[in-house]
Amino acid sequence: MDYLVKLYQNAFLEPLSVAETITIRKPIGTEKHVVLDWIGAQFNQRWQSEAATAFSRHNSLFIAVHDKEIVGFACYDGTAKGFFGPLGVSEFAREKGVGKQLLRKTLNAMKEAGYGYAIIPTNSEDYYRKYLDLIEINGSEKSIYHDMVG
């Protein structure tokens, strides 16, 4: 199912509540292979591909870093313009606010880029509802991913 988030009605600039030792930032070009390899190893090749596309499109990718190690990522415009995600956090960083801050940082970047809405394709509706007012997109059960190869 796909959901909409109204970016124009939300302020996503809350102070960071993650541990002081975790930084959320955009990766630089020389980190691209490290970031993409981490995403592929931690999650899957599809997310790795989406992140690669997001990185190539105006670097719409964010990473969470702890002691020079990646512990999470989020991106937008990876599958299609206006799409948020994927979002992934390592086991180490779960339940520490990292996912929430990656979500907020990425949605705020979308808002600043001029998007009025973000589309979130997800099976994890409960997670996103903790932080966002989601609007279900009727008829999106098939989603943009419905006829992928592989």
Using alpha carbons, list the distances in angstroms from residue 27 to 23, 87, 121: 11, 15, 24
pLDDT tens figures, 86-106? 999 999 899 988 999 999 999
pLDDT for residue 138 is more than 90 = yes
Confidence at residue 61, expressed as pLDDT on a 0 to 100 scale:
98
Which of 114, 59, 39, 50 lies closest to 80, judged by CA?
50
pLDDT tens figures, 61-80? 999 999 999 999 999 999 99
Q: Give dist(CA 80, CA 98) in Å, integer.
A: 24
- Report which DSSP code applies to 99: H
Peptide bond into 86 cis (omega under 30): yes
Tokens of 47: 């997310």
Q: Give dist(CA 16, CA 126) in Å, integer.
A: 22
Percent of the chain surpassing pLDDT 70? 94
Query: Residue 102 belongs to what H/E stretch?
Result: helix 98-112
Angle (nearest 5°) at CA 90 between 140 and 74: 45
Q: Give dist(CA 147, CA 44) in Å, integer.
A: 18
The model's pTM: 0.92
